[in-house]
Amino acid sequence: MRLTALPAFQDNYIWALQAPDGSAVFVDPGQARPVLEAAAQGMRPAAVLLTHHHDDHIGGVAELRERWPALPVFAPEDERIQLECERVGEGDRVQSAGFDFTVLSVPGHTRSHIAFHGHGHLFCGDTLFSLGCGRMFEGTPARMLASLERLAALPGQTRVCCGHEYTLGNAVFARHVDPTNAALHRRQQEAMDMRSRSRPTVPSLLSSELECNPFLRTHADPVRQAVAARLGRAPVDQVEVFAELRRWKDGFRA
C-alpha cells in the first residue's frame, strides 16, 4: 500500500492510502480539489473516513459526492456532520475495497472525535500531532489524556497520520519543556531538514512520539519537573501534568 499526504489549506493534510489496484481511502478531505487531482493521477476513491466535524476536515465531501454519488463515507456520530454517511464508533470496523480499519473513540479535541487504525497506520485527525496534541475544544484534561494513552498503547511501528503540519512549532515547545531529550533534538533536526525540502514531517512513528512528545510523556521525570516549576509544587497526578502542559502550550510564544 502507498500512503500520500495531500496538502490542503495552509497546513492541513488529506491522507490517501492506496491499494495496489489503485483504489484509495481518503481521510478528512477538507477540500475536494486535492482529491480530484489525485484521482486524475490514478487514485480511485473507494471510501472517505472522517475523524471529526470541523470544516477543514469535512468541507470537501459534498463536492466529492457530486463527482462520485455512491462514494461511501464513514463518520462519527455527530449531528454537526450533516452528510449522508455511515456512522461509526468505538470498536466498529470499517471495511471497504480491501481496507480494514478499527475505529477508536478518542474524545477531547471534540466530543465525538474518532481515529481509524489499520494496515499499520493511525489516522488520528487532531487528537495527536507529531510532538504535540490537539486543543481541548470540547473535552476535559482527563478525557483527552485517556484518549492519548489509548493511542500510545498501539504498536510502536504504527505510522501516525495526523491532520496538520505542526511539527516544527510543536518541536520548539517540546524542547522548551524537555531540553535535554536527545531523541527530541534529533527529531527536531530531522523535521527541519524535511521542511527545508518541502517534505511533510509526518507520518511519524509512534515509537518516536513516545520518546519525544511531551504530551505522551506526562509520566517522565523531566516533563513532570518542568510542570512542577511552573506550578510551584509537585503535580498531584498525570492529569494535572497534562492539563498544565496544554495550558502552557496554549499560551506559548517562541
Instruction: List active site positions.
Output: 52, 54, 56-57, 109, 126, 164
Q: CB neighbours (10 Å) of residue 210? A: 14
Lookup: cell for 125: 485527525
Cβ pair 93, 101 in contact under 8 A: yes
116-to-54, 88, 100, 125, 224 alpha-carbon distances in Å = 17, 10, 9, 9, 30
Length of the chain, in residues? 254
